[in-house]
Amino acid sequence: MGTATDKASKNRASKGKNARSRSDEEKDRRQQQILDAAIIEFDSNGYEKTSMGAIAKRAGLSRTLVNFYFGDKEGVHAEIERKALANMTDMFVAASKRQKLGIDKLLAIGRAYVRFQKKYPGYFEALARKDDGQNQKELEIPSVDSTQVIAEAIRAGVEDGSVKHSFNNLTQASLALWATAHGFIVIAENKGTVLKAHWGVNASTLLKNLDTAITSMFANSD
C-alpha cells in the first residue's frame, strides 16, 4: 500500500493533468471559434477587406487573443487552408478505400470532392483563393498527400487494367483530375442560374456529369 504522501502526490499530478487537459480543450475551442468566424468574414467580405478586428468581433474574443493564436490574417488563412486540405485528404482516402478497382476509386474521389464542398463550403472557398506564395511551406505536406491519394488510385487502376491515361506522369494526371472536379463544382455552384436559363441544365445534373468526365479521362476501354 502507498503512503499518504504517495497518494497526495498522485492526486496533485492527476489534478495538474486534468487542468492541462481543460486548458488544451479551451485553446482548441477558441482557435476553432476564431477560424469559424474568419471563414464567415472571408466569405461575406472577401479576404482583402476582412480585418483581424472583424474576425475578433465575430468570434466574440479580443483582437489580442486572436493575434496571440495566429499572428495575423495570413496566419489565420493558412490554418484554415491546412485544416481544409487535411479534411479533404481524409475524405479522399475514405472514399478510395471503399472501392476495389482503380477507376471506381477515381470516381469515388471525384464524388468525395463534391461532398467536401457541400460539407465545408468555407474550407473549399479558402482553397480556391489565389495563392500569394507566402504559405507554401505550411501547405506543402497536406497538398502533396491529397494528390498522392489520387495518384495511388490511378496506379492501382493501371495495375488492375481499369485505368489508362496519356499524361506524362502520375502527378500531372492527379492534378488534372483535381482541376476537373474543381471546375465542375465551381461552375455548378456559381453559375446555376445561367446554366438553367441558357442551356437548360441544372447544377445537380452538371455535377453528375463529373463521373462521365473522369471516365473519359481515365477509363481503360480496351
Are 61 and 33 in contact by the 8 Å Cβ rule? The answer is yes
pLDDT tens figures, 73-112: 989 988 998 888 899 999 999 999 999 999 999 999 999 9
Strand partners, 219: 163
Task: Write down the mean pLDDT value for the chain.
Answer: 86
Phi/psi of residue 162, each to 5°?
-90, -10
Count CB neighbours of 99 within 10 A.
17
In this structure, which CATH number among 1.10.357.10, 2.60.40.740, 3.40.50.720, 3.40.47.10 belongs to the domain 73-222?
Answer: 1.10.357.10
Say which residue the cell 499524361 belongs to. Answer: 167
Question: What local confidence, expressed as pLDDT, does residue 9 receive?
Answer: 58
Residue 177 near residue 214, CB atoms below 8 Å:
yes
Question: What are the sequence ranges of the domains in the chain?
Answer: 1-71, 73-222
pTM, entire model: 0.78
Higher pLDDT, 129 or 95: 95
Q: Lowest-confidence range among 123-127, 148-152, 159-163?
A: 123-127
DSSP string, 185-220: HHHHHH-HHHHHHHH---HHHHHHHHHHHHHHHHB-
Domains 1-71 and 73-222 share a fold: no
User: What superfamily does domain 1-71 belong to in CATH?
Assistant: Homeodomain-like (1.10.10.60)
Alpha-carbon distance 110 to 106, whole Å?
6
pLDDT at 16 over 70: no
Q: In 3D, which of 103, 212, 217 has the Cα closest to residue 157?
A: 103
DSSP-based three-state secondary structure for 163: strand
Exposed e or buried b per residue across 122-142, where buried means at least 16 C-beta atoms within 10 angstroms of its C-beta:
bbbbbbeeeeeeebeebbeeb
pLDDT class for 139, splitting at 50, 70, 90? very low
Q: Which of 96, 88, 114, 105 is nearest to 218 (CA)?
A: 105
Q: pLDDT at residue 130 above 60?
A: yes
Question: Where on the phi/psi map is residue 51: left (φ > 0), alpha (ψ -120 to 50), or beta?
Answer: beta
How much is the pLDDT for 137?
A: 46
For 103, the enclosing helix (H) or strand (E) is helix 102-119
